[in-house]
Chains A and B, each alone.
Chain A
């Protein structure tokens, strides 16, 4: 039976460099389904030596795209949303992954058991956990894979 992070992690994952333009990262997100058969919503950011330096998630990108003053838009009817989206898209072109990534990333070791992984994901509100051994990233555990594994055992 699969009981540890190493058992359910995927070792086929893309990483980004901090100096990669966010617009290139967005294209990798878009192309992820074809390449890995999985729609990605977050990617590991590492340096050239495969040391973890952060994570770029869909949320980081959405946070940057969100207009700063949206709380005052209220019930305005005269919004030109297409123009607003274009302006945000234009601004993101000068932004690099390292500018908006989340640098403090929660990780697990390969021997962490599945219930510890589950607990960490719930407590820290994360859906993916890099698996790190001797400061190198060796895999990534997705919440969907954890869920599938647990369901499989329970429904047996």
Chain B
């Protein structure tokens, strides 16, 4: 019998199950320009910096790159000027719960993973990877929304998370004529990953993410230019009542980190859902996920 409870799906899973084995790293003496190249090419939000002996010494995230852009630091400056030290580590055998707790209390989005031998780097763990793992479980699960909608004879009585329950309900937007400097100030003040750009009627017209800012920094764009000249569009959205599973699927498929959430009219943006938000829920996309995950493991 299916037991409905809200215990975490992550129980019994280890860091090893979710981590990425490819570690994106650069010598701390390399330039920020090269660092942006690596962040863009490998689609990561941060890279590990190492010293001349290959020892990890810091982390450079897109937030740090944005800070350098805002401060007017030449893009040829070495990564060591902006890296945050030291990098934080966990063990591959640690439980995912423990790692998530460490990320939450330390206020970081990423941990580097060592094997049992100290200093032996084996991977990196970031929020989107945890969501990816959960999505995989959800998709294979017999209670999967996608599966039950195909087999319509089954009674889909499982209670599922919808976007409203998981999203961040406040969205900060700026006018299309505001400058990139204002975008960076606002992103920094509210710790957002991206800014919605609206027209004079308040309708969403585009988005400026930290990735966009990093690219503009590398391309030598003056941070005094208006937001509408560099924003990317159209805005990727989902309905506030859509299923979390569908929203995660959309983000996973088209490689975006967040969806703006609308209620009623498309222009009425009421929240934002990021892959990191989904990871913080620490569960799958429905309330039955504990039992279903165990079934998946039994088959494994």
A residues adjacent to B (C-beta < 8 A): 19, 60, 63-64, 67-69, 71-74, 76, 78-80, 83-84, 87-88, 91, 94-96, 98-101, 103
A64-B41, A69-B128, A76-B139 known; A99 vs B255 contact (CB < 8 Å): no
**How far does the alpha carbon of A78 sit from the alpha carbon of B252 in the complex, in Å?**
13
Q: Which residues of B contact A19 (CB under 8 A)?
A: 219
Q: Which of A78, A88, A95 contacts B215 (CB 8 A)?
A: A95
Assess whether B146 is in contact with A78, with CB atoms less than 8 Å apart: yes
Q: Which of A60, A72, A88, A94 contacts B132 (CB 8 A)?
A: A72
Assess whether A84 is in contact with B41, with CB atoms less than 8 Å apart: no
Q: Which residues of A contact B128 (CB under 8 A)?
A: 68-69
Q: Which residues of B contact A78 (CB under 8 A)?
A: 146
Stretch of B32-40, B94-102, B195-203 contacting A (4+ beta carbons < 8 Å): B32-40
* A/B interface sample: 29 pairs, CB < 8 A: A19-B219, A60-B41, A63-B41, A64-B41, A67-B254, A67-B255, A68-B43, A69-B128, A69-B252, A71-B132, A72-B132, A72-B133, A72-B135, A72-B136, A74-B136, A74-B140, A76-B139, A84-B253, A87-B253, A87-B255, A88-B255, A94-B215, A95-B40, A99-B37, A99-B40, A99-B218, A100-B37, A100-B41, A103-B37
**How far does the alpha carbon of A67 sit from the alpha carbon of B139 in the complex, in Å?**
18
A69-B255, A76-B139, A87-B254 known; A63 vs B218 contact (CB < 8 Å): no
B residues adjacent to A (C-beta < 8 A): 34, 36-37, 40-43, 128, 132-133, 135-136, 139-140, 146, 212, 215, 218-219, 232, 252-255
**How far does the alpha carbon of A33 sit from the alpha carbon of B224 in the complex, in Å?**
43
**How far does the alpha carbon of A67 sit from the alpha carbon of B41 in the complex, in Å?**
11
Assess whether B252 is in contact with A72, with CB atoms less than 8 Å apart: yes
**How far does the alpha carbon of A99 sit from the alpha carbon of B38 in the complex, in Å?**
8
Specify which of B132, B140, B232, B253 lies most central, judged by the most chain A CB atoms within 10 Å of its CB.
B253
Which single residue of chain B is at the shortest CB-CB distance from A72? B132
- 4 more contacts with CB within 8 A, not counting A67-B255, A98-B37, are A60-B41, A68-B255, A84-B254, A101-B37
Which single residue of chain B is at the shortest CB-CB distance from A65? B255
Q: Which residues of A contact B43 (CB under 8 A)?
A: 64, 68
Q: Which residues of B contact A99 (CB under 8 A)?
A: 36-37, 40-41, 215, 218
Q: How far is the CB of A101 from chain B (nearest CB, A)?
A: 7
Assess whether B218 is in contact with A79, with CB atoms less than 8 Å apart: no
Assess whether A100 is in contact with B40, with CB atoms less than 8 Å apart: yes
Q: How far is the CB of B255 from chain A (nearest CB, A)?
A: 5
Which single residue of chain A is at the shortest CB-CB distance from B254? A87
**How far does the alpha carbon of A79 sit from the alpha carbon of B135 in the complex, in Å?**
14
Assess whether A69 is in contact with B132, with CB atoms less than 8 Å apart: yes
Which single residue of chain B is at the shortest CB-CB distance from A99? B40
Q: Which residues of B contact A87 (CB under 8 A)?
A: 253-255
Assess whether B139 is in contact with A74, with CB atoms less than 8 Å apart: yes
**How far does the alpha carbon of A88 sit from the alpha carbon of B40 in the complex, in Å?**
13
**How far does the alpha carbon of A153 sit from the alpha carbon of B253 in the complex, in Å?**
51
Which single residue of chain B is at the shortest CB-CB distance from A103? B34
Q: Which residues of A contact B253 (CB under 8 A)?
A: 67, 79-80, 83-84, 87
Q: How far is the CB of A102 from chain B (nearest CB, A)?
A: 8
Q: Which residues of B contact A95 (CB under 8 A)?
A: 40, 215
A72-B252, A80-B253 known; A96 vs B37 contact (CB < 8 Å): no
Q: Which residues of A contact B41 (CB under 8 A)?
A: 60, 63-64, 99-100
Q: How far is the CB of B262 from chain A (nearest CB, A)?
A: 19
Q: Which residues of B contact A73 (CB under 8 A)?
A: 252
**How far does the alpha carbon of A88 sit from the alpha carbon of B139 in the complex, in Å?**
23
